[in-house]
Structure 1
Amino acid sequence: MTAVSTPQGALSHLKVLDLSRILAGPWAGQLLADLGAETFKVERPGTGDDTRAWGPPFVKDAEGEALDAAYFLCANRNKKSLAIDFTRPEGQVLIRALAAECDVLIENFKVGGLAAYGLDYESLREANSGLIYCSITGFGQTGPYAARPGYDFLIQGMGGLMSITGPAAGEPGAGPQKVGVAVTDVMTGLYATVGVLAALAHRERTGEGQHIDVALLDVQVAALANQAANYLVGGIAPGRMGNAHPNIVPYQDFPTADGHMIVAVGNDAQFVRLCTELGASQIALDARFAANRDRIAHREALASELSRYTAARSSAHWIAALEAAGVPCGPINTIDQVFDDPQVRSRGMRFDLPHRGGTVPLVANPLRFSASPVRYHTAPPELGAHTRDVLGSVLGVSLQQMDALTRAHVIPIE
């Protein structure tokens, strides 16, 4: 799929100043940019966002020269890159001027880190009372851990996710495991985006901006969802169960003749159909497995019984048969298989944008709008590629002033 021109996005009337780096903040900035907001990503001259160097793999130019890491590409499309050194007074003036022109500011510096430069919320709201200022940190703006740095892996551990992820005690490979994606960062970016949109709605009614405090640890605790509720209601801390589900049985992977498949039974009728299709109708008649409550009490015995049948035929055989019978099931795909899946291909989840290397492959935004579709207009930008253009068009900085800023090492040479 190649990106095509579409109508303006729902947020095309907004400007976003993205001072964040790594993943959580940039993820929020990219989502707002996908929805149409003009998004200015401010980076350190010379090095830029840390993730530009988090490779291999790297995207390459036409001559095969390594450019930016694939990691950077995942969270920075549709943005304009400004290389500004705001540790220098002249750079701080530029950021304050940009903040005065923007609707939203996203930052993920340590608590109080931007106050030293006069770029904290209280300072910037003086010139822009309607500014939505979103701070993303590991632990929030308050509390005994507020000053600590926070990273996804650390928060997955502290927030309980690793205590329920991985094989159960006594099984091969048992022990705490992180999720294979920085899921806390991604969820934090999504929560931050929801917060920004809510604050914008509030501003529409009142004219008031506000400060949004989003913490990775808070997000991870909130995202424990049913597992947190299980503990709060039942009083027992959940543990690791491998691929099994704490509240539904059978809802796990099962062995097949050539690998494994997932079976996700959600009700008693589906369970009966599963047993019938496996040629094991007697299992559905066993009182130990009559209802979900009973199946939870005897989950090990049931899994053992079902496995004897699933192991007899291939994954493809069972998936086709169970899908036809209305039993939720599916394969365990590798990532290359994901992008070759006909449903994923049909939904256009991989697309390409022009880039210095020719084109660059990206993963699509999953939102589908009927009236204001997501737009893909620019690939993740080269460091500082839009500095002079934005300073000129948004702030009215002259060429002579830009040359002076270059000599002062505030912005890079064009």
Structure 2
Amino acid sequence: MDAADLRELFTSEALRLLDTLPESDSPADAVALVSALRKEGHSAARVAAVLTQYRLRRKARAKFGPFADRMLFTEAGLEQASRLRVAAQHAGRFARAGLTRVADLGCGVGGDALALSSLDLAVTAVERDSVTAAVAGYNLAPFPNASVVNADIADIDLADVDALWLDPARRSGARKFSRPDDWSPSLEVALDLSRRLPTGIKLAPAMDRGLIPDGHEAQWVSDGGDVVEVVLWSGALARDGIRRAALVLAGDGSAHELTAAADSADEKMGSLGEYLYEPDGAVIRARLIGDLARSLDARPVHPTIAYLSSDHLMPTPFAAAFRVRETWPLKKAVIARGLAERGIGTVEIKKRGVDIDPAEFRKALKPKGDASATLILTRVGAERVALLVDRV
């Protein structure tokens, strides 16, 4: 969205029109809607601006739930915004640390600032892009304890705040989003700020772990099975004795955390048992698989693959569990025959440690039947295997 689109959108007529559009996911309905709005006398520019927001609001529901229906967005701002329940976890940490005046540096459309403001923290939301800052101002308007400043981070006086939140943006042309120069502000600038004030820095979960300072707590977060971020916490926001953490937000709304003072030591490899565990991605990224294995009385089945196995089941929020029905050599003919004998026509294929395209592999198996199961393609010790399993 550019300044012209913003001017079209920021009128009472356009905002009222946006709030009254009918629900629909059909492309044909969208075409008809454009035609209807033009016949009502709305300009092409207004229709385009309103329908863009209509589309972004619907897309934003995955992150913001019903709150999305009263917010405005930019494409880039929505893509980078924290999911609302993840932002709530960020805000809760500031509140628990007793920090009350937070500067959100690079606030985007204001998702994290919204969560901070909802806990009655005083928030100064700073955004360099003028259009995005205006959108953030609209989203934060219901909160008198929040203000939006259109400025560069370097120009902000931090004397009146006691903590910082940074969500660095992707630099133009950056691809990996895991190196120091992929972010704006740079990781060096963000870390310098974090040594001055208690700070949370949201980064891509695949960032180079060698860039994590020794004095910061690194917390990987997964939401509904997706690893969405790693946050570096400093000062009063970093917990004593914790330098690695995996926060798992489950589908039922519960939150669970595995923490340690450092990367955990791995367990020794062992044999395949009756049950197989697939650790959550946050646990894998945090390198806490060894601690998880010990808590489950489980062992890895391969030294470099994140599958654990045990002879008994112990439910955990930190891993998906499967009961092993069959172990086959990783040969298409053997697997296809085994599926056919069991009437398995619906097959979920998971793989780790083998170079196989699950979609192509499934097509080659030609499964038929009314039964369903999960097939895990991996390595157990030196063997390439296919494990027929049931989710527990």
TM-score (structure 1 length as normaliser): 0.27
Which structure carries more strand by proportion?
2
Greater relative contact order (Cα < 8 A, sep 6+): 1
TM-score (structure 2 length as normaliser): 0.28
